[in-house]
C-alpha cells in the first residue's frame, strides 16, 4: 500500500511523509500528476496562500487528476490548505477552488462573537467530533490538535463536518464524506494525537 503526497510547491512535505512512515505507512512524494494513478491513497497537504495553491495545481496539471482520484473513491486526505482547496471559493485572493465540496473559505474576523480575536488562529485547540469519523476513532472528545490558519471553511452542506473547534464561535475542523477526508489542523504536527489520525488513514481501505 502506497500513499502519495502531492508536491505542488506549497510548503515542505517531508514532515507529512516522515509522520506517515513513523506509523508504518509507505509514503511517496509525487511531482508528476501521472503518478497519482499508481498510488493507493492520496494526500493534498499545503501551507500558504489559497490563490497561489490553485495556481500551482493548475500549472502543474493536478486539478483534473485530483478530481478523478476523488471520484474513483480511493482514500483521499486534505490537510490545512489542502482542505480549503477542496471547496468552491476562497476570500483569500478571491479565487475559485477545486469545487469538489460545496462551500467557501472565509477569513476570521478580528471581531467575532463579541470579542477581539487574534488572527491567525494559532496553537492547540480542542476538537469536538460531531460524527463517528473513522479517522478520529482514537480521539477522546476534547483532544487537542495544532492549528495555524487565518481562513476557515464554511461547508455548504453542514453534514460534511465531522469535527468542530471553537474560536470565537464554532467552525469546521474536519470534513468527511465516503473516502474523502480533510483536516484544517495539522495531524503531522499534532504529536501523538495527530499520528493516530494518520495511522487510521493508512489503515482505511
Partner 1 sequence: MLTHRIIPCLDVHGGRVVKGVNFVNLQDAGDPVDIARAYDQAGADELVFLDITASHEQRDIMLDVVRQVAEQCFMPFTVGGGIRTITDVTRLIQAGAEKVSINTAAVVSPDIVAQTARRFGSCATVINIDPKRVPAAQFLDDFRASGRPEPDDGGWRMADGGWLPTAALSDPSSIIHRPSPIIFEVHTHGGRKPTGLEAVAYARHVVELGAGEIVLTSMDADGTKDGYDIEITKLIADAVDVPVVASGGCGSPQHMVDVLQQTRADAVLAASIFHYGQYSIAQTKQVLAEAGLPVRLT
Q: Which residue has the cell 476534547?
A: 142
Establish if 199 lies at the interface with partner 1 (CB under 8 A): no
Establish if 113 lies at the interface with partner 1 (CB under 8 A): no
Comparing CB distances to partner 1, the nearer of 126 and 179 is: 126
Helix axes 14-22, 191-203, angle to 10 degrees: 80
Provide, rounded to whole angstroms, the least separation between the CB of residue 68 and partner 1. Answer: 29
CA-to-CA distance for 61 and 90, rounded, in angstroms? 20
Q: Which of 35, 60, 191, 203 binds partner 1 (CB under 8 A)?
A: 191
Site string for partner 1, 48-77 (x = CB under 8 A): xx----------------------------
Q: In 3D, which of 147, 129, 138 has the Cα closest to residue 193?
A: 138
Residues carrying an active site annotation = 80, 186, 188
**Region near partner 1 per CB under 8 A, out of 54-62, 68-76, 94-102, 111-119:** 111-119
Establish if 116 lies at the interface with partner 1 (CB under 8 A): yes
Comparing CB distances to partner 1, the nearer of 15 and 72 is: 15
CA-to-CA distance for 8 and 14, rounded, in angstroms? 13
Amino acid at each position: 500500500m502506497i500513499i502519495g503526497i502531492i508536491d505542488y510547491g506549497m510548503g515542505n512535505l517531508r514532515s507529512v511523509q516522515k509522520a506517515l512512515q513513523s506509523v508504518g505507512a509507505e509514503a511517496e512524494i509525487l511531482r508528476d500528476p501521472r503518478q497519482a494513478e499508481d498510488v493507493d491513497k492520496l494526500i493534498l497537504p499545503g501551507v500558504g496562500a489559497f490563490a497561489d495553491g490553485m495556481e500551482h495545481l493548475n500549472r502543474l496539471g493536478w486539478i483534473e487528476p485530483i478530481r478523478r482520484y476523488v471520484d474513483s473513491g480511493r482514500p483521499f486526505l486534505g490537510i490545512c490548505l489542502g482542505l480549503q482547496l477542496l471547496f468552491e471559493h476562497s476570500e483569500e485572493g478571491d479565487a475559485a477552488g477545486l469545487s469538489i465540496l460545496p462551500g467557501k473559505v472565509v477569513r476570521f474576523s478580528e471581531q467575532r462573537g463579541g470579542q477581539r480575536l487574534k488572527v491567525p488562529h494559532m496553537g492547540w485547540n480542542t476538537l469536538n467530533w460531531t460524527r463517528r469519523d473513522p479517522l478520529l476513532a482514537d480521539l477522546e472528545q476534547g483532544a487537542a490538535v495544532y492549528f495555524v490558519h487565518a481562513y476557515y471553511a464554511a461547508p455548504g452542506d453542514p453534514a460534511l463536518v465531522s469535527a468542530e473547534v471553537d474560536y470565537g464561535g464554532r467552525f469546521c475542523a474536519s470534513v468527511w464524506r465516503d473516502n474523502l477526508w480533510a483536516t484544517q489542523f495539522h495531524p503531522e504536527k499534532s504529536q501523538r494525537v495527530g499520528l493516530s489520525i494518520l495511522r487510521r488513514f493508512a489503515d482505511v481501505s
